[in-house]
Each structure stands twice: as structure tokens, then as C-alpha cells.
Amino acid sequence: MTRRGVTLMHPRWVHGFSIASPQLIAELDARKQQIGQLELLAAAAAYISRFAHGSATET
């Protein structure tokens, strides 16, 4: 008889970083807010970077 079971896989960690260029900073409006423009960009970068395709560091 064949019975189907499961094998747990370890979680996968991916991390990446980037130094923001002066050109990029020049494009951002200077605003005084609790969460800065660069912090918002960092959050967006995680979704739009190429880490999903393996170019960021995976551990």
C-alpha cells in the first residue's frame, strides 16, 4: 500500500543591500516624515530587486 506523507523543508533566507547613489537621492523630495523616503525605497526594493531570480545572497 502507498501512503502519502510530508517532509519538512528548512526556511530559505535571502538578503541584499545597495548603496544609494547621489543621483537617486537627488530624485527624492526632501520631506520630514517618520519613515524616510530611503526606508520606503528599501521596502520596495525587496519586491522589485532581482533577488527572486537568485542575484541576491541566499543563505
Partner 1 sequence: MHVPEAKVEIVRAMVTDAIAKGELPSGETSSLCGKLQFCLSWGVGRFGRAAMGALYRHVRARRPHIQLALEMSLNFLQTALTSLRARDICVRATSRSAPILLWSDATGTSEGESTLVMAFVARFPGGTLPVAQ
* Residue 25 within binding range of partner 1, rule CB under 8 A: yes
* Total residues at interface with partner 1 (CB under 8 A): 35
Query: Binder to partner 1 among 23, 27, 43, 54 (CB under 8 A)?
Result: 43
Exposure b/e, 9-40, CB count within 10 A at least 16 = b = eeeeeeeeeeeeeeeeeeeeeeeeeeeebeee
Out of 11, 27, 29, 54, the residue judged to bind partner 1 by CB under 8 A: 11
23, 26, 29, 33: which one binds partner 1 (CB under 8 A): 33
